[in-house]
Chain A
């Protein structure tokens, strides 16, 4: 678990919860900071194997999921989530991050039912807007 100090007072009332599943501590810090500033409550998790338990525990509105995770890849986590394993909500919006940006990664993620796919390096604005869009279209 990565410790993220609380950011400056959010501009708006909390928008909702984001679960960031990412094993790279520095990128988790940066993304966490950005989303918190935008009014999200951000939790982070860094292990693929226990990711679904973390989803159940944190009950997020949006998941930001990295492909390369220790234990279990982001694809497997996504597959488990869409299958409703561990009693997770199968229709949770998922933004997937990958550094590979290859067509086959994107195809695989889309086949598994990803909501949005983003390749590293991304701009901070792109990321914030993507999470905001996903939350807006998410089922109640």
Chain B
């Protein structure tokens, strides 16, 4: 797999191609030439509105400059291809497709996501068929009535010499049962209609909130400025009460974090260690703030069950939209050693290195003798280690490390025939993680 080109290098390449001076471009976007130089040499993370301004100044698409502009897309394309059991040769040119036809590639990725959502709907509906007592009763009534109609009708058809007494009786039964059948069919259709009216959008509240946070890059300027007071307006546009409650909880936490560790301090820091004193020793707070404030860093928070509570992806380190992450992530290591701060270097399957800071600590202590609620937090920062990083992946379903001992389920990227057989075309073919 080719190493992805960092955003800074792309900016430099583009600027040189246009024959523009650093000074001129830096002036246009309102930063110093030396800062642009640092960005171009990948010494400073870049994202958010600055990247958009640079894209405009360099007369190109933001997506063409952002590393994740195509990396994330390429991953999705590979997953989509894998889900349809195509062989490796056929989806080897996914990077090419993403670069040359970004809009078509985006459409493929969007359709793959829609398919995954539909697969979940189908699962929910078949679950409903076997567990919904109202529907089960309605179906039972229908089948019972069909049974009577069938029996009675074939008696009439096969007994030409039937006596008038019986004939009258069976005709009356058929009349009554056919009415019952019509009513029963109507009742079942009504059940499905009500189900459909419940909303075309079947996203889980957690998915709705995830998408909302990702769209904003997990960064809300009003929270930094106005604190908790800004939360109701931010979540007001979300569909569904559950999603609003969940988003309110997350953003309220972000606002409280912001007041405890102001953005200016976070932006001035070179790494998490610089902020420990300012955060009063709350290491998880340091990681959360650096993750949220800096567009160039990723953030993952999980609970003691390993369920992902917060996932802020960063260019080059795709995080699963659904389900658990990679069991090799340091966030899970931290969970096993609560209170111990970890810093390690890991390597994603494309060969990129990441400095990971992780800590598991209690978020709520009810009192002496009560079990604390533990959460683990991990901060992802791009680094260079020359191949010294411990291997990790993006989550088993889309991870190419086939022989990984920690593998939990087959990868859709697998090309081993025995693994491919396990990916059933008619069944669960879509990437969940």
* Residues of A in contact with B (beta carbons under 8 Å apart): 5, 7-8, 24, 26-27, 29-31, 33-34, 37, 68, 99-102, 120-124, 127
Contact = CB atoms under 8 A, between A and B. Distances in A.
Contacts of A127: 151
Contacts of B173: 26, 29-30
Contact of B140 (A8, A68, A121): A68
Contacts of A27: 144, 147-148, 151
Q: Which 3 A-B pairs have the closest CB atoms?
A: A120-B147, A99-B143, A121-B147
Given A8-B161, A30-B173, A99 B144 contact: yes
Given A5-B165, A8-B163, A26-B173, A120 B144 contact: yes
Given A24-B148, A33-B166, A120-B146, A100 B136 contact: yes
B3 interface: no
A120 B162 CA distance: 24
A120 B176 CA distance: 18
23 contacts: A26-B176, A26-B177, A27-B144, A27-B148, A29-B173, A30-B151, A30-B152, A30-B173, A34-B151, A68-B144, A99-B140, A99-B143, A100-B136, A100-B140, A102-B130, A120-B144, A120-B146, A121-B143, A121-B146, A121-B150, A122-B150, A124-B155, A124-B158
A120 B148 CA distance: 9
Given A120-B147, A121-B147, A122-B147, A26 B163 contact: no
B360 to A, nearest CB: 42
Contacts of B163: 8
A84 B159 CA distance: 39
B166 A7 contact: yes
Contacts of B139: 99-100
Contacts of A102: 130
Contacts of B426: none
Contact of B150 (A8, A24, A101, A123): A123
Interface string B381-412: 00000000000000000000000000000000
Contacts of B100: none
A8 B43 CA distance: 98
Nearest to B162: A8
A107 to B, nearest CB: 14
Nearest to B173: A26
Nearest to B169: A29
A99 B147 contact: yes
Given A24-B148, A26-B152, 17 more contacts: A5-B166, A7-B166, A26-B176, A27-B144, A27-B147, A29-B169, A30-B151, A34-B155, A37-B159, A68-B140, A120-B143, A120-B146, A122-B147, A122-B150, A124-B151, A124-B158, A127-B151
Interface in B145-183: 146-148, 150-152, 154-155, 158-159, 161-163, 165-166, 169-170, 173, 176-177
A37 B144 CA distance: 23
B159 to A, nearest CB: 8
A94 B140 CA distance: 21
Contacts of B151: 27, 30-31, 34, 121-122, 124, 127
Nearest to B157: A124
Nearest to B158: A124
A9 B202 CA distance: 62
Nearest to B156: A30
B210 to A, nearest CB: 36
B180 to A, nearest CB: 9
Q: Which of A24, A26, A34, A122 neighbours the largest number of chain B CB atoms within 10 Å of its CB?
A: A26
A92 B378 CA distance: 67
A74 B23 CA distance: 87
Contacts of B147: 27, 99, 120-122
A29 B154 CA distance: 13
A63 to B, nearest CB: 18
Interface string B231-266: 000000000000000000000000000000000000
B418 to A, nearest CB: 29
Contacts of A68: 140, 144
Contacts of A37: 159
Given A8-B161, A8-B163, A124-B155, A30 B143 contact: no
Contacts of A123: 150, 154
A5 B34 CA distance: 103
Contacts of A26: 148, 152, 173, 176-177
A125 to B, nearest CB: 8
A22 to B, nearest CB: 10
A109 B209 CA distance: 46
Nearest to A5: B165
Contacts of A31: 151
Contacts of A5: 165-166, 169
Residue of B151, B155, B159, B165 with most partner-chain A CB within 10 A: B151
Contacts of A120: 143-144, 146-147
B49 to A, nearest CB: 57
Interface string B80-116: 0000000000000000000000000000000000000
B140 A30 contact: no
A94 B165 CA distance: 31
